[in-house]
Amino acid sequence: MIEIIQIKKRFGRLTVLDDLNLHIGRGKITGIVGPNGSGKTTLIKSILGLVRPDRGSIIVAGQVLNGDWQYRKMIGYMPQYGKYPENLTVEEIISMVKNLRDEPGNIDRELYDRFELDRERSKKIHTLSGGTRQKLSAVIAFLFDPDLLILDEPTAGLDPRASSALKDKILKEGTEGKTIIITSHIMSELEELCDEIVFILGGKIKFQGSVQNMIESTREFKLERAVASMMERISE
C-alpha cells in the first residue's frame, strides 16, 4: 500500500528521517513505535504530504507523491492534537469536511454515535475539552470509510470508554481489509491491535516484523519490555 524509498528530511541541522526505507502492506494494521523525537510524526506527515522530504520518494497505492493532493481522498487522518477553527461548532466542522470532500461514498457515523457527539454538536470548538476534540478528530478520520487510516496517538486523552470504542472500531476496520497505521506509546494497545510493528529510532527503521517476532527477538514476554530493551540495546 505504501512504499517509502530512501527518504531524508532535515529540519535545520537536525536529521529527522535518515535514508528511511519502509514498506507497509495492504490490509494490515501497522504500529509505529519509537522514543519521542524519533521521527514518527514526521514520517506520518510525509505520507500525508504535510511534510516534504528533501530526498527520496513515497508511493501510496501506486501513486508517486509529488505535490499531488487527490490521493488523500483515500486517507483518513487523525492528528495527535486536533485543532479546529475556534469559533465554529462541532456540527459545522463535520459538515465542512464533508463539503470539502464532496464524495458520494457512504458516510460512516458509527464513531459519532458511539462517542455521543450529538450532544456536543452545537458547541463551539473553544468550549470543548481536549478529549472531546480528540473524539471529533477520530470521527472525521473514519467518516469517509477510507482505505488507508493514519492515526497519530489515537487514544491519548480519551477516557477508557471512548478509548475502547475507538479500539473496537480500529479492529473492525482492520478485519474489513483497511490498511491502518497507528503510532502510540501505549504498548499494550499496539499489542492488542497491530499485525506488525515498526520500530523507528534516529530517523531509521531498526526493526520491522510481527509483534510476536519482536518479543521473541528480544527474549522478553511483553511488547513493552521488548521495545524498552530494544531502545536500551541500540542506545548502548
Partner 1 sequence: MKVIVKIVRYVLQDVYRGKWLIIYGLLFWLMTDLLMRFGGNSSQVFMSLINVILIFIPLISVIFGTIYLYNSREFIEMLLSQPVNRKHLFFGMYIGIVIPLISGFVAGIGIPLLYSGIQSRADIIPLSILLGTGIVLTMIFLAMAFLISLGTEDRAKGLGYAILIWLFFTVIYDGLILILIYLYSEYPLEHATIIMSLLNPIDLGRLLILMQFDIAAMLGYTGAVFQKFFGSLYGVLISGSMMLIWITVPLYSGLRIFLRKDF
Q: Which is nearer to partner 1, 136 or 226 (CB)?
A: 136
**Would you say 148 and 76 are in contact if contact means Cβ atoms under 8 Å apart?**
yes
What is the CB neighbour count within 10 angstroms for residue 165? 20
CA atoms within a 13 Å half-sphere pointing along the CA-CB vector of 117: 29
| Of 46-54, 113-121, 199-207, 210-218: span binding partner 1 (CB under 8 A) | 46-54
Binding-residue total with partner 1 (CB under 8 A): 31
Query: Which residues touch 212 (CB under 8 Å, ≥6 apart)?
Result: none
| Of 56-64, 82-90, 177-185, 217-225: span binding partner 1 (CB under 8 A) | 82-90
Q: Which is nearer to partner 1, 52 or 55 (CB)?
A: 52
Binding mask 6-45 for partner 1 (x = CB under 8 A): -----x---------------------------------x
Query: Which residues touch 41 (CB under 8 Å, ≥6 apart)?
Result: 80, 152, 183
Cell numbers that stand for 45 in this block: 506527515
Binding mask 88-107 for partner 1 (x = CB under 8 A): x---x---xx-xxxx-----
Residue 87 in contact with partner 1, rule: CB under 8 A: yes
Q: Which is nearer to partner 1, 83 or 219 (CB)?
A: 83
Please state the separation of Cα 195 from the chain's center in Å.
15
Q: How far apart are CA 154 and CA 115, in angstroms?
A: 14
Q: How far apart are CA 226 and CA 211, in angstroms?
A: 10
Residue 82 in contact with partner 1, rule: CB under 8 A: yes
- Least distance between partner 1 and beta carbon 12 (Å): 10
- Least distance between partner 1 and beta carbon 231 (Å): 27
Q: How far apart are CA 227 and CA 33, in angstroms?
A: 8
Three-state DSSP class for 18? Answer: strand
Sole residue written with cell 507497509: 24
One of 48, 138, 162, 193 touching partner 1 (CB under 8 A): 48
Residues 57-76 that bind partner 1 (CB under 8 A): 67, 69-73, 75
Positions in the binding site for partner 1 (CB under 8 A) = 11, 45, 48-52, 67, 69-73, 75, 77, 79, 81-88, 92, 96-97, 99-102
